[in-house]
């Protein structure tokens, strides 16, 4: 189970804020932090930019390229992996020296040339499958594998912001894993604890990606799909604890049960403790540990 904190454009074009995101994700127990690298002039067709002031205004969402060396170094220091989503072919080339893995956004899933370029770097590729059909996702996974790269993860996703719980259809995680034969997980837009718990504990998501904001001032916080540290932190801790709770499945006494084992009923007369322990009790041997006081016990 991996947790990936998606910064998206909540960095507000502030380098120190980018570094704060890295530190916060590491403190929360995330495995990776992820950014997005795009150029508005490459992301949208000229017809859109010419007629839409709203889309032109998204230039302020761009991550400055000269931030990447510092972000890379901070991730190394924090012991957390760095991922990034490229939105053009030049971005793939640039990012290859900095990232541990590439992420393909749902909106770019049909652009196989971009997927192939990421895969050819040999680095793991994570695909978001929002809005997609199984056929479309299959073609994207095949594009990765045809390069010889087998490190591919597919994230089920609902590309609305925020997504409603009843839209999440988490059973798709199992479908993707079974049909595609690869790791599968959930890219969250719901900001709903019940959705994340279900994805983790019922559908065994291999990866959980969540949109992350530090303080409700990020450029993308408004729609309501971004988690704050105090919201996501307890869920990550709970998921980590669940792995410890599940254990190995081997039925053997735990170390702290060893003393209690001596206080079981002896098979000869049904009285506690075992006869060997009674002898120790009588002799008051040094190092004797009194137990068996819990009434009938469990």
Residue 8, phi then psi, degrees to nearest 5 = 55, -125
165 plus 24 within the same structural domain: yes
* The predicted structure's pLDDT at residue 175: 98
Reply yes or no on whether the pLDDT at 165 is more than 90: yes
Query: Worst-scoring range by mean pLDDT, 24-33, 179-188, 247-256?
Result: 247-256
* H-run or E-run covering 36: strand 32-37
Which residue range(s) make up the domain with 186?
Answer: 2-246
- 163-168 contacts, C-beta under 8 A, 24 or more apart: 163/188, 163/189, 163/190, 163/225, 164/190, 165/190, 165/192, 165/194, 165/195, 168/195
* The predicted structure's pLDDT at residue 289: 55
137 plus 231 within the same structural domain: yes
* Comparison of pLDDT for 133 and 45, the residue scoring more: 133
3-state class of 239 per DSSP? Answer: helix
**pLDDT over 90 for what percent of the chain?**
88
Reply yes or no on whether the pLDDT at 288 is more than 60: no
19 plus 133 within the same structural domain: yes
The answer to whether 87 and 107 have CB atoms below 8 angstroms apart is no
Whether residue 132 is contained in a domain is answered as: yes
How many CA atoms, within 13 angstroms, populate the side-chain half-sphere of residue 161? 10
pLDDT averaged over the chain? 94
Whether residue 144 is contained in a domain is answered as: yes
Mean pLDDT, rounded, for 9-29? 98
User: β-strand 125-128 against 101-104: which pairing, if any?
Assistant: parallel
**pLDDT over 70 for what percent of the chain?**
95
19 plus 149 within the same structural domain: yes
CATH number at residue 215: 3.20.20.70
Instruction: Work out how many domains the chain is built from and give that number.
Output: 2
* The predicted structure's pLDDT at residue 61: 92
How far apart, in Å, do the first and last CA atoms of the chain sit?
33
Whether residue 270 is contained in a domain is answered as: yes
138 plus 281 within the same structural domain: no
* The predicted structure's pLDDT at residue 28: 98
178 plus 287 within the same structural domain: no
Mean pLDDT, rounded, for 203-215? 98
Whether residue 118 is contained in a domain is answered as: yes
């Amino acid at each position: 189970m991996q947790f990936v904190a998606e910064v998206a454009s909540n960095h507000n074009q502030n380098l120190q804020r980018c570094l704060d995101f890295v530190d916060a994700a590491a403190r929360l127990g995330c495995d990776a932090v992820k950014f997005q690298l795009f150029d508005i002039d490459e992301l949208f067709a000229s017809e859109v930019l010419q007629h839409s002031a709203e889309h032109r205004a998204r230039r302020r969402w761009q991550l400055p390229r000269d931030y990447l060396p510092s972000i890379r170094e901070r991730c190394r220091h924090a012991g957390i992996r760095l991922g990034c989503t490229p939105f053009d072919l030049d971005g793939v080339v640039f990012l290859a020296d900095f990232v541990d893995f590439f992420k393909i956004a749902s909106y770019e899933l049909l652009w196989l040339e971009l997927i192939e370029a990421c895969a050819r770097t040999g680095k793991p590729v994570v695909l978001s499958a929002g809005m997609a059909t199984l056929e479309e996702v299959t073609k994207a996974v095949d594009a990765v594998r045809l390069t010889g790269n087998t490190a591919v993860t597919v994230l089920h996703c609902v590309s609305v912001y925020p997504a409603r719980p009843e839209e999440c259809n988490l059973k798709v995680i199992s479908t993707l894993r079974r049909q595609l034969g690869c790791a599968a997980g959930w890219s969250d837009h719901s900001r709903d604890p019940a959705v994340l718990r279900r994805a983790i504990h019922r559908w065994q998501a291999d990866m959980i990606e969540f949109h992350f904001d530090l303080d409700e001032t990020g450029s993308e916080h408004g729609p309501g799909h971004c988690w704050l540290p105090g919201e996501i932190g307890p869920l990550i801790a709970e998921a980590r604890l669940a792995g410890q709770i599940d254990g190995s499945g081997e039925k053997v006494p735990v170390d702290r049960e060893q003393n209690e084992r001596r206080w079981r009923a002896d098979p000869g007369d049904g009285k506690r403790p075992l006869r060997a322990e009674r002898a120790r009790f009588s002799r008051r041997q040094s190092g004797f540990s009194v137990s068996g006081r819990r009434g009938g016990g469990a």
